[in-house]
Amino acid sequence: MSEVERLLRPDLRGRTAYGAPQLDVPVCLNTNESSYPVPEVVVRAVLDALAADLTGLNRYPDREFTDLRKALSAYLERQAGVSVTPEQVWAGNGSNEVLSHVVQAFGGPGRTALGFTPSYSMHPIIAETLGTTWVDGLREAETFELTAGTAAAQAREHDPSVVFLCSPNNPTGTALPFEVIGAVLDAAPNAVVVVDEAYAEFARPGTPSALTLLPTHPRLVVTRTMSKAFAFAGGRLGYLVASPALVDALRLVRLPYHLSTPTQTIATVALEHAELMLSTVEAVKVQRDRLVHDLGALGATPVQSDANFVLFGGLVDEKSTWQALLERGILVRDVGIRHHLRVTAGTPAETTRFLEAMTQLAPAHVGPLTTPSAVDHPDFETAEDDA
């Protein structure tokens, strides 16, 4: 054991740092980013706004990010049709930071966090590295569905302090029925229940947002991000909505001035141009649905998706398929589920290139499975710095 390992917290020894593959390939469809660049008009507006900020960088940023919270609450009212006050909004450098704030405030030593595998793998990473015991709850083995009865039974069994739900879920892409959220809230009376809606803007018509449940559930937290639908992954802005009292509790754990002035400005300008920034969402959804249809026609088993990606099974060996796609210049995601890969919906040209490659590979790579579809291990490879 090295000197550093000896000094490291025992529960961190032997762990591997998170890192989604970042390879220089022509078609990058592995981290659920948008394939579309920020529109030029938004680039110009950001540059103008930043120019006004630069002379004031000798001062700390607005600790309460007041203008940004107003802009986020106004956006949510337009997008989700839910009245949200700025006092209900909290933001951070990606939704991973606001998720960390929740666990810092409501988790910790002697407390438990519950999530339902397979799901976003940063949830257990955040929980465990902050000293919270992680419980790997389970979904249906073949369909990956989470039912109200199954979720409630597991919540009652473990009496968690924090529960993580994803809607739409990563990596399956499926939205969560409201009865599951309600069942978990009832079955876990000592828990803050987090509904991670990182992909909410991509949901199919008629899919409700958990934001509508906030007025009657003071222990509910809904997290979102500007990394996906806003095509703003490099801007690093995630946020949550909760009761004002819960938001106020997060001030106890956040680092001082955690959102820089440029971050606040860039995000606020993007929200001012929300309609333009979101103009590619429908195009992405078309490609997502195309992936579901065409992968099914090849004999694969894609999961119907409410996100900007598709999980598909039916592969003889997912690792060899992943490698074969990479050799053709296409990077997708091995999410740690046997016989499955996940592909982001990109531009029409990127989707075509992926589907052409899969058509070539299908005779050898898609077919009868030698073992049932199953999860390889609990430490999924699905996380990305998104959120």
Q: Please tell me the distance from the alpha carbon of residue 73 to that of residue 357, in angstroms, as a whole number.
A: 43
pLDDT in tens, 320-358: 999 999 999 999 999 999 999 999 999 999 999 999 999
CB atoms under 10 Å from CB of 349, counted, come to 11
* Identity of residue 289: D
Q: Please tell me the distance from the alpha carbon of residue 326 to that of residue 332, in angstroms, as a whole number.
A: 8
Task: Determine if the peptide bond prior to 86 is cis (ω within 30°).
Answer: no
Report the pLDDT averaged over residues 159-172.
Answer: 97
pLDDT in tens, 113-156: 999 999 999 999 999 999 999 999 999 877 899 999 999 999 99
Report the pLDDT averaged over residues 252-274.
Answer: 97
DSSP notation for 272-294: HTHHHHTTTHHHHHHHHHHHHHH
Q: Three-state secondary structure along 285-320?
A: HHHHHHHHHHHHHCCCEECCCCCCEEEEECECCHHH
Tell me if residue 366 falls in helix, strand or coil.
strand
The CATH fold of domain 40-277:
Aspartate Aminotransferase; domain 2 (3.40.640)
Query: Which residues make up the CATH 3.90.1150.10 domain(s) of the chain?
Result: 3-37+279-365
Confidence of residue 369 (pLDDT cuts 50, 70, 90): low
CB atoms under 10 Å from CB of 296, counted, come to 14
What pLDDT is stored for residue 22 in this prediction? 81
- Angle between helices 261-272 and 40-54 in degrees, nearest 10: 140
Task: Determine if the peptide bond prior to 171 is cis (ω within 30°).
Answer: yes
The CATH fold of domain 3-37+279-365:
Aspartate Aminotransferase, domain 1 (3.90.1150)
pLDDT in tens, 208-233: 899 999 999 999 999 999 999 999 99
Query: CA dihedral defined by 339, 133, 96, 36, rounded to 10 degrees?
Result: 10
pLDDT in tens, 15-44: 888 767 788 899 999 999 999 999 999 999
CB atoms under 10 Å from CB of 79, counted, come to 16
Query: Which residues make up the CATH 3.40.640.10 domain(s) of the chain?
Result: 40-277
| pLDDT surpassing 80 at residue 368 | no
Query: CA dihedral defined by 244, 250, 251, 255, rounded to 10 degrees?
Result: -150
Residues facing residue 222 across a β-bridge: 195, 241
Instruction: Specify the residue for token string 């801007």.
Output: 235
